Structures are given as structure tokens and as C-alpha cells.
Structure 1
Amino acid sequence: MPKIVDHDQRRQELVETTWRIIARRGLSGATMRQIAHEAGYANGALKPYFATKDELLEATYQHVFERSDRRIEEALRGRRGLQALRALCLEVLPVSPDLVDEARLVIAFWNGAAHDPDEAALASGALDRWRSRILSTLDQAQTDGELRDGVDHARVAGLLLGQLFGSQVTAVVDPVSFNGDRLGEHLDGLLDLLRA
């Protein structure tokens, strides 16, 4: 009797393997041969799951954004206002080894997104979702009287997104100066500027 293969599970395993390789070796180290080897497959065995490396990379990037979105949803549960905003930011900031690895992958993704319209659309969708959540928490904070007068929510959302993505770069290239504790302090300093 032939072995039953769970196609979706195999695809997920390959995405997870690709994610780990990029985090350790960078995008150039994530060859199809290396991915197949680390996943325990022959080189040509990836084709039924991902026809090209670009297809596998896109699935990997999509996985990372979905993973972040799930963490954010969980972190926001039962929170609102500035507490929710802080929790959201801590799910994106590279404040743990796992999130630093995620940042390495995201940095590789941004480089590709600068040149690929499909990847740019994926990035834009993630930014739009995060901007919407940030704006929602700021609206809650305003309603609850947590914000000082005159806070421009759209401007703050833009500043926070820039801070979050910039922190991914600085934490990867200078992990001593921009470690998790320091990034948490930076975030708290920004949030303190908003408080009533």
C-alpha cells in the first residue's frame, strides 16, 4: 500500500526549514539543495511542493507575517489602549532570540520586496494590518483618557511602524547596543511621550 503524504504538512515543514536556514545563514544560504538536505529530502523532491525557490520564499515570508499576526492577536486579547499598543509592539520588536531570528528573515524579505511587486504587495498588506491595529489602540487610549491632548494618531502610527522595522535592522546588526532590554526601554520612552 503506498504511503499517504500530507501535502500541506510537507509544505509547512519546508517553510519552517527555510525560515530556520535564512535566520542562520541569510538568504544566500537558503539554496534549494540546502533546504532539501536539512528537511531530509532529495534535492528534486521539493518540486511537487514548491516549483521554484521564489514560490518557497514567498510562502515562507507569508508564514512569518501570519505568525506575527497570530501573536499580536493573542497579545491584544483582554487589553486595550496603551497597554494593548505596548503588547502589540513587543510582538514585533526583536526582544527575544526567536524574534531576532524572525527579524533576520524579514530584513531579507524587505530587500526582495523593494524589487518584486508581489512581495511588495505582501509587505503592504502586513503594514496595513499593523497600522490599523495601532490606530485602534490609539483610539481606545484616547477614549480612555490615556493620551495627552493633540496626539495625531496617524503620525504616531507611522512613527511606531518606522521604529518597529528600524529596530529589526538595528537588533540584527548591533545586538549589543540594541538588545531586547534596550529596545523595550526605547518603546516605553516613546509611549511615555504620548501619555496624558
Structure 2
Amino acid sequence: MPKIVDHDQYREELLDQCFDLFAKKGYAALTMRQIAQGLGVSTGTLYHYFPSKEGLFEQLVRETTLRDIRGAIAAASQQNCVLSRVAAALEYVAQNEDFLKKQTLIWIEFYQHQHRECGIPTEVFHRVWQESEQQIAALVGLDDPKLIGFLSCAIDGILLHRIYEPQNCSFRDHASMLVEMVKLYLRDRGKLISAE
């Protein structure tokens, strides 16, 4: 009897394993053949699930980003006020800091490679942000695109700074300052009382 394969689950497993390959070797250094060898599958199997290295990587970006957002939402959904939800989401980032720093470096390297190759940055990051922005807004509990964008930029910036200066200040220290800034922002706009 032939083995029944859940293709979506298998694709996700391949993507998870690809993350480690890209983290070790970098996007530009890997070919589809090397990725297939690293995963222990045939090149044909890899092309069955992913049309190209770029297509594979774009799916990796989308899947890992949305999984991170779902994890933050799960962590924050137990909280009943905006500031507690923001703090819980930031704690999720702190707990997954090593993975997220690797992810940041891989994304930057991919962006640089795409820009060098075709002169036009890839749209994958923009599409993923558009897809996740509403989920982040629901997580925070505010319809404030500027605040959502600021939080995303601040988290990205803290992670990048932690790569450069890992001993300077912990992610949690920066996160607590960020929560205080959000508190002042909400208080200044008269949204803190209604949000809590």
C-alpha cells in the first residue's frame, strides 16, 4: 500500500529545515541542489514543492513570519489590556530572541542579494507586512497603523542592535522602555483609559 503523504505538512517540514541551511550558509551561497542535499531529498522533490530558490525563500519568509505572529498572539491573547498585551508579545520576542536575530540576518542577506541581482528589492517583505499588519493590530487591540508600524520598527531595531551589542542591554530592558513609550503615547491621545 502506498504511503499517504500530507503535502502541506511535508512542505512545512522542508521549510523548517531550510531555515537552518540558510542560517548556516546564507541565501546567495546555496543552490537548489545544495538545499536538496542538505535536506536529504532529491532535487526533483524540492522542485515539486518549490518552483525556485527564490520561491522557496519567499515561502520561508511568509511561513516563519506568520508563525512568529501567531506565537505572539497566543502569548498576548491571555491579557485583557493593551499594555499587558504589548508586554506579553514583547516577552514572546525575548524568549525567541536567538531565532529572531538569525531570521533578521537571513532576511537582510536575501534583500541585499535580490537588490544586487535585479536592482529592485523583492516584494515578499511588503506582502508579508500587509498580511500581518491587521493581525498585529488585533493583537494590540488598537486601530492605529502608526503605532503598529512603530512597534514593528522598534522590535526590528532592538533585535538588530542586540546583534551588534549583545552585552549592552537585554531585550527585556529595551522592551520595558518600549512599553513605557507606548503608555505615554496612548495617554497623550486619550486612548489609555478606553484601552485598559
TM-score for the superposition, normalised by structure 2: 0.73
What per-residue deviation string (whole Å, max 9, x for no partner) do you get for residues 11-62 of structure 1? 1222112111122222223421222112111333312111211221121111
Distance 1:93 1:162, change over 3 A: farther
Distance 1:109 1:90, change over 3 A: farther
Structure 2: how far apart are the matches of 1:19 and 1:13? 10
Structure 2: how far apart are the matches of 1:98 and 1:159? 22
Structure 1: how far apart are the matches of 2:9 and 2:96? 29
**Which ranges of 4 or more aligned residues in structure 1 deviate by more than 6 Å?**
none
Are the equivalent residues in 2 in contact too, given 1:13–1:39 (CA < 8 A)? no
2:3 pairs with 1:12: no
Partner of 1:25: 25
Question: May I ask how many residue pairs the two structures share in their alignment?
Answer: 178
Distance 1:120 1:85, change over 3 A: same
Over the matched positions of the two proteins, sequence identity in percent amounts to 24
Are the equivalent residues in 2 in contact too, given 1:93–1:99 (CA < 8 A)? no
What per-residue deviation string (whole Å, max 9, x for no partner) do you get for residues 118-176 of structure 1? 54222332244324533x16x8xxxxxxxxxxxxx65543332221112232233x152
Distance 1:35 1:64, change over 3 A: same
Structure 2: how far apart are the matches of 1:48 and 1:157? 37
Partner of 1:158: 149
Structure 2 unaligned regions, length at least 5: 188-196
Question: Alignment RMSD, CA only?
Answer: 3.0
Structure 1 unaligned regions, length at least 5: 140-152
Partner of 1:170: 161
Give the deviation of 1:186 after TM superposition: 1.3
Distance 1:108 1:90, change over 3 A: farther
Partner of 1:35: 35
2:89 pairs with 1:99: no
TM-score for the superposition, normalised by structure 1: 0.73
